[in-house]
């Protein structure tokens, strides 16, 4: 199971995610409680091994700005989390993750999704204060998986170490994405990151074994 830990803001959080077995690390460059600057992201990215891919999350950002950030930060993917049309994705010289709120997804036809140039489609909860997810799970029964190729499907929105296994069993996605679900008091919690990835990947690793590696 492909696991993305999003909203990374420190070297310590990135290290915890890498040691726990994350496949993707996400930096938020849009307005959020978890926003980082390109300078911060560059410093953190230097500590991330090449085996773990780096994602930059943007919301309705200018193409020039995204390309400039990509030139500074070693991004392996750009995640478009707003209302960006396919024409924007075509102008970004990097693999794309296209995020949709479950509310917006229900209004799309399969042909429009197939025409979008993206490697993965991420389904999130409806936004609240900021664009992006609310940190609450959506009603999984609303997701018609026949609309999406499951080999491209990433599920987000209110996932936690407690419910991620059920989400995977129910929706059978390619990957899962978490941010607030692995935090304590608004900060990334290494133990929750380990628990989340262990549940998602079905691994049998103790905290001590991971941190002694």
**What is the set of active-site residues?**
6, 124
Residues 6 or more apart in contact with residue 192 via CB below 8 angstroms: 160, 161, 181, 182, 183, 184
DSSP character at residue 125: P
Residue 36: both structure tokens together: 């980082």
CA distances from 68 to 38, 62, 65, 89, 140 (A): 9, 10, 5, 15, 36
| Rounded to 5°, angle at Cα 103 from 117 and 91 | 20
């Amino acid at each position: 199971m492909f696991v993305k830990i999003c909203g990374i803001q420190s070297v310590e959080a990135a290290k915890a995610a890498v040691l726990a077995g994350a496949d993707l690390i996400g930096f938020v460059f849009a307005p959020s409680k978890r926003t980082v600057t390109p300078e911060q992201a560059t410093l953190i990215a230097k500590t991330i091994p090449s085996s773990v891919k780096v994602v930059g999350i943007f919301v309705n950002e200018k193409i020039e700005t995204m390309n400039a950030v990509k030139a500074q930060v070693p991004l392996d993917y750009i995640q478009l989390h707003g209302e960006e049309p396919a024409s924007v994705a075509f102008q970004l010289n990097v693999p794309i993750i296209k995020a949709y709120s479950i509310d917006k997804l229900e209004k799309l036809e399969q042909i429009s999704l197939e025409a979008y140039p993206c490697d993965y489609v991420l389904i999130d909860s409806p936004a609240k204060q900021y664009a992006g997810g609310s940190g609450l799970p959506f009603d999984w029964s609303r997701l018609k998986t026949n609309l999406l190729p499951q080999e491209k499907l990433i599920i987000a929105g209110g996932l936690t170490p407690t419910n991620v296994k059920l989400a995977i069993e129910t929706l059978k996605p390619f990957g899962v994405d978490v941010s607030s679900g692995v935090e304590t008091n608004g900060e990334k919690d290494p133990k929750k990151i380990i628990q989340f990835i262990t549940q998602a990947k079905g691994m049998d690793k103790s905290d001590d074994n991971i941190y002694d590696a």
